[in-house]
Amino acid sequence: MDTMKNETEIWRSRALAHEENYYQMLKRVDSLTEQLRESQAYADKLVEHKDMICLPKDLEVLREANLGLAKENALWQEEAKRWRDMYIEYDEMLEGDLEKAKKRIVNVISKIKSLEKQMNDEKY
């Protein structure tokens, strides 16, 4: 029984670690989304501001930086989705393992009761 308890604790700690990684990824996605929004808003202000002299190269560099942020953000979102899917699959696997373990326990208890009955029948 200790082995099953230890195994359960290992699975639980792994699940918690995966969940923490997933939430850290979501925070990174949120951070990149905010950076991208701010950078795009800044680029738009530069374009709209008529009094400010802004070289086309400056705007090009800023737009390229925005594009880089957008690509990185998309990659992180894909990775977060992959982790979420993996976490869901992992959770379903654990539920399946738990159901199998419950059935094995029920079978063991049933066999123990059967053996007890046989032993009691042999005594009398």
- Domain residues for the domain of 45 are 2-123
User: For 66-76, what is each residue's pLDDT tens digit?
Assistant: 888 888 888 88
User: How far is 119 from 97, CA to CA, in rounded Å?
Assistant: 33
User: For 86-107, what is each residue's pLDDT tens digit?
Assistant: 888 888 888 888 888 889 999 9
Our count of domains for the chain comes to 1
Residue of 3, 32, 22 whose CA lies nearest to 11: 3
pTM: predicted TM-score of the whole model, two decimal places: 0.48
